[in-house]
Amino acid sequence: MMESSIAVRDAVGAVTAFQGFLLDITDRKRAEQEIRRRNRELLVLNSIAQTLSESMDLNDSLFRTLRQLSELFRLDATSLYLVNEQELSLSRIAAVGYRSEYARNFPKVPVQPELLQHVKAVHATFLSAQGLPLPPVFRSVQQKEEITSAFLVILWSKDRVLGVLLIGTRSPREFSPADINLLIAVGSQISNAIDRTLLYEETRTAYDNLRRTQEQLLHSEKMAAVGQLISGVAHELNNPLTAILGYSQLLTGSPDVGTQGVEYADKLYKQAQRTHRIVQNLLSFARQHKPERVAVQINQILEETLALRDYDLRMKNIRVHLELASDLPVTWLIRTSFSRYSSIW
């Protein structure tokens, strides 16, 4: 009430009466309180929007948002779940206010398709958890945490259910229409933040894939150039090698060169043969192939690979001792461009 009174006095100044009125200002006080509450809610809502937009670290921003939401509505427990419609599952990504270890380590849980279909059919935004066919683990958490009132805010991304915001209190609680609208507004901001983060992740993944594809293309072009160079060099080497092999064989069979000469010619022939094998391996490496399935001997591939690496190994004082099984079965491989073989079948 608001009071306004005056004193009525006589000619000598003595109070003869009091005159005044009382005004009921209950509605005005309620309106002022409502305005103050709404201002505070708008400030928190603005703070939540800023929290969700200022950082690309989704987990951190969602955790801080749930804390602000709990303070604003005096909630005892809040948690946020993402819906995977293909797997029909819920995955918790943030939670505040839970006491038990069981509730803090919440597993991925399956969701009934009927529940998801019902939510989509009515385009629900705010639901009481009472009576809903939630997974049993939710009921277990509710009992262990002594949650008496629980509600769900559905997070929408256009016509797709993106996630669920679960709020709970340990004492009976009802929300006014204004509170429900504010919770839905917060849920919409959370949906936008999640959508923005998922879009960023998809864009980054697409960029990484494009960069890897460009690197592979560049590497392929380099390998093509290297293959052409190797092929040209190998063909140039084949001509003198053929002459060296032929004349060394003639010297080995000639009676005029003597014993020492035959020994030298034989060594020359063996080294020329080794060089010829290396040249053939280089040509095989440089030759482009369509992917094809071929049967090979593993031992032969090992020997040819070591022959190509022989110089580097010797320069680094590495001696290779081979112990290869002679009874290995034939192995099927996939042969592709610029590589002898790429994968085993």
- pLDDT tens sequence across 277-291: 777 777 766 665 566
Residue 121 has a pLDDT of: 84
Residue 344 has a pLDDT of: 40
Residue 70 pLDDT > 90, yes or no?
no
Question: What is the tens place of the pLDDT at every residue in 92-120?
Answer: 888 888 887 777 778 888 888 888 888 88
Which pair of structure tokens corresponds to residue 283?
């040509």
Of 42, 137, 43, nearest to 98 (Cα)?
137
Q: What is the rounded CA–CA span in Å between residue 215 and residue 209? A: 10
Asked if 92 and 125 count as a contact pair (C-beta separation under 8 A), the reply is no
Residue 314 pLDDT > 70, yes or no?
yes
Residue 343 has a pLDDT of: 39
Residue 289 has a pLDDT of: 58
Q: What is the rounded CA–CA span in Å between residue 95 and residue 104? A: 8
Average pLDDT over residues 5-16: 89
Q: Which residue reads 């032929």 in tokens?
A: 246
On the 0-12 / 13-18 / 19+ scale of CB atoms within 10 A, 107 is: exposed
Average pLDDT over residues 20-42: 83
Asked if 196 and 249 count as a contact pair (C-beta separation under 8 A), the reply is no
Asked if 245 and 272 count as a contact pair (C-beta separation under 8 A), the reply is yes
Amino acid identity, position 290: K
Longest dimension (CA), the chain: 165
Would you place residue 54 in the very low, low, confident or very high pLDDT band (cuts 50, 70, 90)? Answer: low
Question: What is the tens place of the pLDDT at every residue in 184-240?
Answer: 888 888 888 888 887 888 888 889 999 988 888 887 787 777 777 777 777 778 778
On the 0-12 / 13-18 / 19+ scale of CB atoms within 10 A, 122 is: exposed
Of 11, 45, 331, 56, nearest to 198 (Cα)?
56
The whole model's pTM is what?
A: 0.56
Greater confidence, 233 or 170? 170
Report helix, strand and coil shares of the chain as percent, to nearest 5: 55, 20, 25
Residue 286 has a pLDDT of: 64
Q: What is the DSSP letter of 201?
A: H
Question: What is the tens place of the pLDDT at every residue in 121-147?
Answer: 888 899 888 878 888 888 888 888 889
Mean pLDDT for all residues in the chain: 82
| Strands of the sheet with 149-157, listed across from one edge | 109-110, 89-96, 77-84, 160-169, 149-157, 126-128
Asked if 85 and 114 count as a contact pair (C-beta separation under 8 A), the reply is no
Residue 25 pLDDT > 50, yes or no?
yes
Would you place residue 338 in the very low, low, confident or very high pLDDT band (cuts 50, 70, 90)? Answer: very low
40 backbone dihedrals φ, ψ, rounded to 5°: -65, -40
Residue 46 pLDDT > 80, yes or no?
no
| Strands of the sheet with 331-335, listed across from one edge | 292-296, 331-335, 343-344
Would you place residue 154 in the very low, low, confident or very high pLDDT band (cuts 50, 70, 90)? Answer: very high
Residue 61 pLDDT > 90, yes or no?
no
Residues 6+ apart with CB under 8 A from 342: 333, 334, 335, 336
Question: What is the tens place of the pLDDT at every residue in 239-275?
Answer: 788 888 888 878 777 777 777 787 888 888 888 887 8
